[in-house]
Structure 1
Amino acid sequence: MKIRFIAAIGLAAAALGVGLGGCATSTAQSTTPGATSSHRNADFEADRKAILAMAGNYHVTFDFIETVAFEKGYELKDRKLSGGNEIVRIIADDGDFISLQHILVVGGDDKFPVKHWRQDWRYEPESVLVFTGANTWETRDLSKADVKGKWSQVVYQVDDAPRYGAVGAWEHEDGVSAWTPPREWRPLPRRDATKRDDYQAVDAINRHAITPDGWVHEQDNTKLVLKGGEPHALVREIGVNTYKKFDDFEIAIGDDYWTATEDYWAAVRAEWTRIEAENPSFGLTVQGEPEAVYMPILDLAAAVEDGEKTSEAAADEARDIIASFVTTSPAGLQARLASAD
């Protein structure tokens, strides 16, 4: 399973992520379950329609190119272009909260699923989880003025550990629905975390826009060096992840995987949610690409899918794995990074 997953995730390395229900249809919903009457206005419904429109079946292209160096002697790296087929499913819709799960369908003649990233959207949130460097995160409290008419997006990676979060407003102008938050930090993407050690965070502007045949995730990324003192820019990168509606692949492989494992993943999400709720900040003791965390959690999901373990037994093991890598005193991790040569 480990070899299979590592080979598959390379196809989409550029992309990087409680008790929720099963897969829903990918069709955008016009109703607003759970929303208060004050939210039932044209802007709110247009926002929801845009978010829900990201669910569906897609061929995805991940395209990243470094553009401007900010450190003397730095040479721009080669363009990174990859892609694959992916389903995006609505796994929660409570009106003010929408959760979208991405699942890749990859492989040659023998296709198989790979759980990918997750995006959670919340309307006028009281707080947002943000990345602070060194595989650490903190909950940032928000005022009502900060979030009026806005949505947070928090992205989670393949094992449902957090990656990054931000707050911004959807705009519906010139025939385009787009969400663009202010610049926020995020961890290294896997395409670099497994191969580079010359920068430690990405300062990113992260735009989602709905297109006639799907949607696009545009990124304006500044790669930051955090070691040895104040953060400084290494190089700027432009990223364009294009999701084009596409049904000519084995869609059922992804849906069947989710049906078999959704209870297990609900328990894993609940554990990360508990950690977020109980700790103003937390981190992982393993730095860089946290394969030691996500591989055993993904392997447990495979055991559930194959009928080798129950969801409950696998979830118990997953909670133990998470506990072994999570620290609720992450300041020391960041201090060690900043003081490193």
Structure 2
Amino acid sequence: MHRKIVSLAAASLFALASTSALAHPPIAERPAQEEAAAFEADRADILAMAGNFKVRFDMQEATPWQSGYAPLDRKISGGHEVVRVIEDSGRRIVLQHILVSEIDGKPHITKHWRQDWEYEPARVLVYSDRNAWTWEDVPEKMRRGRWSQTVWQVDDSPRYAGWGQFEQQGGLRRWRSNWTWRPLARRDAVRNPVYDRYYAINRHQPTPDGWVHWQDNIKMGMKDGRLQPIVQEYVLNTYTKFDGYNVKAADDYWAATKGYWAAVRAGWDKVAATKGGIAIQEEAQAGTIISARLLTIADEIVEGKLTEAKGTAEALKLIDDNTRMTGAKQVASAGR
């Protein structure tokens, strides 16, 4: 019965993903000079998301799509976040987010999410069903002039990915994704809600003093054997330039752990390349079942309790031992 439900969910995902591409017509060919100018403007907007910020997280469940469902109350929170460019090869830019808080008068560092941007990608690693992320080709005619954004969780495991274009409307520039599937965020997963994933559009837009990240989320759940919309959620995360907190603590943490986290990223990339994607058990509190340990290893490296070499070896073993071939890879292997 479980396999039947999963296959039905996968079929629903495929149908919705296929129709979503139709809403984004191909970008027409442009003169080389115009193409180059657009590319540099896009890069500037992505790179402008790096810096030191005060962050406001504003989440609101709004319209219920199922009779009897009562939307959650609006939730507003905030914090301080450092965003650093950790890779820039021109057509690929990687931004690492690091949260800075204070506990008992001392700075507390949390490695937060990561966003990878790639120009005219051939494929993206998308959330395909519970506990699984698989490769999805970007239609060739849709690649011109577009960027993909892949978002990774605190342990550098995948979260969601989409592709889209920078556009200008009303004198404002923004990047808008295609429709993307996402696993539940911790704020929802810990409540064991009636929905189990999001179907969403993702937007990033520069502001005079920072940038905003706007999510338009349809919260989806299984009902009568198929995925159905439960409630609409709107999320607006506002990043305002601000230096009035312990920025150095974040940079010190990254200096001490960047080698370890580079190895961890490479470990996940290897799994995605060799196992047809990434399949790993999710956990409501932490994201993946190995997330807590991967983060603790980094802390122990900072504290001198572990060498980078030993910590890296343990992390790579955890990643390899706890991931499996995705369904698509299993089918391909069985056919050989």
Q: Same fold (TM over 0.5)?
A: yes
Q: Are residue 205 (structure 1) and residue 201 (structure 2) matched?
A: yes
When the two structures are superposed, what TM-score results if normalisation uses the length of structure 1?
0.83
SS at match of 1:111: strand
Q: Are residue 215 (structure 1) and residue 211 (structure 2) matched?
A: yes
Given that 1:60 and 1:241 are in contact with CA atoms closer than 8 Å, whether structure 2 keeps it comes out as yes
Alpha-carbon separation, structure 2, partners of 1:203 and 1:281: 20
The more displaced of 286-295 and 249-258 is 286-295
CA displacement at 1:38 relative to structure 2:
8.6
Q: Are residue 79 (structure 1) and residue 74 (structure 2) matched?
A: yes
SS at match of 2:163: strand
Q: What residue in structure 2 maps to residue 175 of structure 1? A: 171
CA displacement at 1:41 relative to structure 2:
0.9
SS at match of 1:257: helix
CA displacement at 1:188 relative to structure 2:
0.5
Structure 1 residues 217 and 285: CA distance shift in structure 2, 3 A = same
May I ask how many residue pairs the two structures share in their alignment? 296
In structure 2, which of residues 284, 299, 304 is the aligned counterpart of residue 302 of structure 1? 299
CA displacement at 1:228 relative to structure 2:
5.5
**Structure richer in strand, relative to its length:** 2
Q: What residue in structure 2 maps to residue 324 of structure 1? A: 321
Structure 1 residues 134 and 291: CA distance shift in structure 2, 3 A = closer
Q: What residue in structure 1 maps to residue 88 of structure 2? A: 93
Gaps of 5+ in 1: 1-36, 332-341
1:220-259 pair list within 5 angstroms: 220-226=216-222, 229-259=225-255
Given that 2:271 and 2:277 are in contact with CA atoms closer than 8 Å, whether structure 1 keeps it comes out as no
SS at match of 2:267: helix
Deviations 1:196-216 (A, max 9, x none): 331110001100000000000
Alpha-carbon separation, structure 2, partners of 1:163 and 1:280: 16
In structure 1, which of residues 260, 267, 270 is the aligned counterpart of residue 263 of structure 2? 267
1:1-341 pair list within 5 angstroms: 41-108=36-103, 109-226=105-222, 229-289=225-285, 290=287, 292-330=289-327
When the two structures are superposed, what TM-score results if normalisation uses the length of structure 2?
0.84
Given that 1:124 and 1:144 are in contact with CA atoms closer than 8 Å, whether structure 2 keeps it comes out as no
Deviations 1:296-329 (A, max 9, x none): 0000000111112121210110112122321214
The residue type equivalent to 2:293 in the other structure is P
The residue type equivalent to 1:136 in the other structure is A
The residue type equivalent to 2:300 in the other structure is A
Q: What residue in structure 1 maps to residue 14 of structure 2? A: none
Alpha-carbon separation, structure 2, partners of 1:291 and 1:131: 14
CA displacement at 1:177 relative to structure 2:
2.1
Given that 1:65 and 1:237 are in contact with CA atoms closer than 8 Å, whether structure 2 keeps it comes out as yes
Identity of aligned residues (%): 43
Alpha-carbon separation, structure 2, partners of 1:294 and 1:76: 30
Alpha-carbon separation, structure 2, partners of 1:227 and 1:138: 24
Given that 1:283 and 1:328 are in contact with CA atoms closer than 8 Å, whether structure 2 keeps it comes out as yes
Structure 1 residues 224 and 311: CA distance shift in structure 2, 3 A = same
CA displacement at 1:330 relative to structure 2:
4.5
Structure 1 residues 330 and 301: CA distance shift in structure 2, 3 A = farther
